[in-house]
Structure 1
Amino acid sequence: MLSLPPRVGLGADAPSHERIEDVIYGRKHGIALTMDVFKPREGAHGTGVIYVVSGGWYSAHEAINPEVFGELLKRGYTVFAVVHGSQPKFTIPEIIEDMHRSVRYIRHHAERFGIKPDRLGITGGSAGGHLSLMMGLAGRPGNPEAKDPVDREPSGVQAVACFFPPTDFLNYGQTGRDLFKALEEELAPFKAPFDFQEFDTQTRQFVLIRDLDRRREIAREISPVAHVTPDDPPTLIAHGNADTLVPIQQAEVVLEKLRTAGVPTRLVTREGQGHGW
């Protein structure tokens, strides 16, 4: 599976923290979108980190494991474990919208959570890393005319640190090899989140998008590499150079583009390690 990042244990000497479960950050199609908030009881310094609960674009509350981000809690970060609408029910474009909403919600309620709205980072592994990069590189401004005050907030973040993320669905593993070739091979178990749909206003139903040019355009839109600009936040990626599911080439191409744009970057290469280590 496109997996979660390696665990960092809480350890016996970990400081205690408060866990607020099932905070509703949005609603869609009659369901609630939730996150759990983890607040250090001591040493909190007002910086928040969004942890994207996602592996293969599958997300569930029971997948939240505080051991994964235990080191962040020990260092005084408030952690927001965000559960997004999950595949196979929802596709990646829909999932990305959930993530934008989560960032806006956290920022709007920064005072409630004891953080500064301009000190938000994001992390995740594999699919969670992809979504982290989308928030870092494709964050959006708020809509000042929005009825919901949450939607008036911007959805960008100030730092990205992620693990083995897909970044370029038009050049997957090598230049010119697109998503649709990868879906026949290493990404074959993950077809559902790429079943792009649109709403037919005449039939009043969702229909699959079958036009290949349109599908390629959506693949570009959901690729972090397509959204690089000079004002992107500092970005760190850790990746194994023996990863056959998400090749390290995916980290290299986005970081090279970020460096060219003048954005501070770092690649941590895990020698001989595959996906998820």
Structure 2
Amino acid sequence: MTSIIPLWNHAAPYAAIGHEDEMPHLIPFIHPGSESAVIICPGGGYGFLADHEGAPIAELLNRAGISAFVLKYRVAPHQQPAPLTDGQRAIRYVRAHAEDFGIHPSKIAVLGFSAGGHLTAMLGTVYDEGQTEHADPIERVSSRPDRIILCYPVITMESYGHAGSRENLLGPEASDELVIAYSAEKQVKADAPEAFIWHTSDDGAVPVQNSLRYALALGAHGIPYDLHVFEKGSHGLGLAEDDAAVSAWSGLCLTWLKNQGW
């Protein structure tokens, strides 16, 4: 693992007043010889970033021969569009420096847990091909992830989502237009990336309907997905090493990634 990689060499855009010096960054876990990478977005309700959903996941990917980056994106008091901008910049950065990392620029996936899953789903729906005339070469490349992995994700900002994530991201009095814009299931496009999704059916914090609705949205556009719903398991399990049933998700995910060419 090398040093922290700041996403900008200047103040990050859309900073909360009084927090302009907070710098979103990547922590790289490069596996020599890997041509593929996964950017990891820990959860935490857009209020903090859960450590157990960061480095341990990168280390799992490294053991499977895949390079990884843990994204330290901005959370409250920063609000939208700061986290999404951080995620888009992370994808652009890794893609722009793919040769330096030994990574193929079309093998960059994003994996997210809970609110980090919401960020990941948004990255899989709100993207562009880059601004070819931009002065910053990083901004000239695409922000579209090639695959996404959603782990008990918050998907919607509507009633069955997660109230804490919504308030931290959108504020306490978000407009209907903003709620729709940040409900990822409503933003799926025909060229959205394929997805691996898992949840537990009795998740009491983020209902499984979030994953089901996103899968249905992908299916409506003919986009392949691999969906796994485990019968029991609390929210925020990470690798779920103490749960023999749910811990199977990581092996299933690695198999899916391998089948995708990662």
Q: TM-score range by the shorter chain?
A: 0.7 to 0.9
> How far apart are the structure 2 equivalents of 1:93 and 1:54?
17
Are 1:72 and 2:65 matched, yes or no? no
Q: Contact 1:93/1:222 (CA < 8 Å) preserved in 2?
A: no
Q: Which residue of the partner structure matches residue 202 of structure 2?
A: 242
> How far apart are the structure 2 equivalents of 1:231 and 1:190?
26
Q: Contact 1:165/1:246 (CA < 8 Å) preserved in 2?
A: yes
> What do the CA deviations read for 1:175-207 (whole angstroms, capped 9, x no partner)?
xxxx6xx63xxx4x86333317xxxxxxxxxxx
Q: Which residue of the partner structure matches residue 250 of structure 2?
A: none
Aligned counterpart in structure 1 of residue 109 of structure 2, from 121, 145, 148: 121
Q: Which residue of the partner structure matches residue 253 of structure 1?
A: 213
Q: Which amino acid aligns with 1:235?
A: A
Are 1:93 and 2:75 matched, yes or no? no
Structure 2 gaps of 5+ residues are: 13-19, 238-262
Q: Which amino acid aligns with 2:97?
A: H
Q: Contact 1:107/1:153 (CA < 8 Å) preserved in 2?
A: yes
> What do the CA deviations read for 1:199-226 (whole angstroms, capped 9, x no partner)?
xxxxxxxxxxx5x6xx121111112112
Aligned counterpart in structure 1 of residue 190 of structure 2, from 230, 249, 274: 230
* TM-score under structure 2 length normalisation: 0.80
Q: Which residue of the partner structure matches residue 191 of structure 1?
A: 167
What does 1:63-212 align with in structure 2 at a 5 Å threshold? 65-87=54-76, 89-170=77-158, 172-173=159-160, 183=163, 187=164, 191-195=167-171, 210=173
> What do the CA deviations read for 1:105-136 (whole angstroms, capped 9, x no partner)?
11111111110111111101101111111112
Q: Which residue of the partner structure matches residue 26 of structure 2?
A: 35
Identity of aligned residues (%): 24
> How far apart are the structure 1 equivalents of 2:229 and 2:3?
35
> How far apart are the structure 2 equivalents of 1:241 and 1:162?
15
**For 1:124, what is the secondary structure of its paired residue?**
strand
Q: 1:37 to 1:122 in 2, by over 3 A?
A: same
Q: Contact 1:35/1:80 (CA < 8 Å) preserved in 2?
A: yes
Greater share of strand: 1
Aligned counterpart in structure 1 of residue 46 of structure 2, from 30, 33, 57: 57
Q: Contact 1:61/1:83 (CA < 8 Å) preserved in 2?
A: no
Q: 1:22 to 1:62 in 2, by over 3 A?
A: farther
Q: Which amino acid aligns with 2:181?
A: E
**For 1:151, what is the secondary structure of its paired residue?**
helix
> How far apart are the structure 2 equivalents of 1:39 and 1:123?
16
> How far apart are the structure 2 equivalents of 1:71 and 1:227?
31
| Shift of residue 65, structure 1, vs aligned partner | 4.5
> How far apart are the structure 1 equivalents of 2:221 and 2:69?
29
> What do the CA deviations read for 1:13-38 (whole angstroms, capped 9, x no partner)?
xxxxxx11211112323442211100
| Shift of residue 62, structure 1, vs aligned partner | 6.3
Q: Contact 2:215/2:227 (CA < 8 Å) preserved in 1?
A: yes
Q: Which residue of the partner structure matches residue 178 of structure 2?
A: 218
| Shift of residue 60, structure 1, vs aligned partner | 5.3
> How far apart are the structure 1 equivalents of 2:48 and 2:84?
13
Q: Which amino acid aligns with 2:121?
A: L
Q: Which amino acid aligns with 1:40?
A: H
- 60-69 or 128-137: bigger deviation: 60-69
Q: Contact 2:123/2:144 (CA < 8 Å) preserved in 1?
A: yes
Are 1:272 and 2:248 matched, yes or no? no
* TM-score under structure 1 length normalisation: 0.76
> How far apart are the structure 1 equivalents of 2:50 and 2:211?
28
Q: 1:60 to 1:228 in 2, by over 3 A?
A: closer
Q: 1:61 to 1:168 in 2, by over 3 A?
A: closer
